[in-house]
Amino acid sequence: MLAEAQFLEFFQQWGDDPLVIQDKIGSLKSLGFLMEGLALPLRPDLGTRLAQRLGNEGNSLLASLGDFLFDRWSRDHKLSEVVFQVLRDWGLHSPSVGVLVHYLTNKINQGKGDFLPLLRRSLWEGAPTEELRDKFRLVAASAKLRYALNFRGKEWNATSVAAFRRSFTKETENQPDGEWQLQQGRFHLRIGDLPTGFSLLKKSLLEAQETDNKPLEVRAESEIGLALLRKGRIDEGHEYFDIASRLADKTGSSYLIALTAGLDAVSLFLLGNLTGVRGALDRGWAACEKGGLQHGKVQFSFLRARTEFDLGNYDGASEALERALAVVDRYRLLEAEPVLLSWKGRSEAYAGRTSVAQSLLEALPPSAERGYFLAETHYFQHEYDQARALIREARELLKPTQPFGSGEKADWSTGFAGVEDRALGQPGALGVLGNQIEAFGWLVEGSLGEEAATPFQNLLGRKFLLELDPASAMIYYWYYRVLPQDDAQMAQRLTLLGRCLKDVQTRASRIEDPTQRQDYVSRPLWNARFAQDARKLKLL
| pLDDT at residue 45, as a whole number | 59
Write b or e for each residue in 24-59: b if 16 or more Cβ atoms lie within 10 A of its Cβ, otherwise e.
Answer: bbeebeeeebbeeeeebebeeebbebbbeebeeebe
Which of 277, 323, 266 has the alpha carbon at shortest distance from 468? 266
Compute the radius of gyration of the chain from its Cα atoms.
29
How many Å apart are CA 270 and CA 395, to the nearest integer? Answer: 25
Confidence of residue 35 (pLDDT cuts 50, 70, 90): very low
Task: Give the integer Cα–Cα distance in Å for 373 and 347.
Answer: 9
What does the alpha-carbon distance between residue 341 and residue 318 come to, in Å, rounded to a whole number?
A: 10
pTM check: above 0.85: yes
Give 408's pLDDT tier (boundaries 50, 70, 90). Answer: confident
- DSSP code, position 351: T
Contacts of residue 536, Cβ cutoff 8 Å, sequence gap at least 6 = none
Residue 537: the pLDDT is 84
Q: How far apart are CA 100 and CA 84, in angstroms?
A: 6
pLDDT of residue 57: 61
Mean pLDDT over residues 49-77, rounded? Answer: 70
> Could you tell me the maximum CA-CA distance found in the chain, to the nearest angstrom?
105
* For residues 33-48, average pLDDT: 52
* Cβ atoms < 10 Å from Cβ of 425: 15
By three-state DSSP, how is residue 34 classified?
A: strand
Distance of CA 453 to the CA centre of its chain: 39
* 527 close to 473: Cβ distance less than 8 angstroms: yes
In the predicted model, what is the mean pLDDT of residues 457-482? 82
SS3 421: helix
42: helix, strand or coil: strand
Which helix (DSSP H) or strand (DSSP E) does residue 323 occupy? helix 314-331
Please state the φ and ψ torsions of residue 87, each to the nearest 5 degrees. -60, -40
Q: What is the pLDDT of residues 125-150, one digit of tens each?
A: 878 888 889 999 999 999 999 999 98
Assess contact for 420 and 431: CB atoms under 8 A: yes
Query: Can you tell me the distance from the alpha carbon of 156 to that of 510, in angstroms, rounded to the nearest whole number?
Result: 38
Decide which of 376 and 454 is more confident: 376
Question: Does the pLDDT at position 102 exceed 80?
Answer: yes
Q: Hey, which residues does 34 pair with through a beta bridge?
A: 42
Residue 1's pLDDT band (boundaries 50, 70, 90)? very low
Distance CA 432, CA 61 (A): 64
pLDDT at 427: 66
What's the mean pLDDT when you consider all of the chain?
86
Q: Can you say whether residue 145 is alpha, beta or left, with left for phi > 0 and alpha for psi between -120 and 50 degrees?
A: alpha
The pLDDT of 328-345, averaged and rounded, is 95
Yes or no: say if 260 and 245 are a contact pair by the CB < 8 Å rule.
yes
- Asked if pLDDT for residue 452 goes beyond 80, the answer is yes
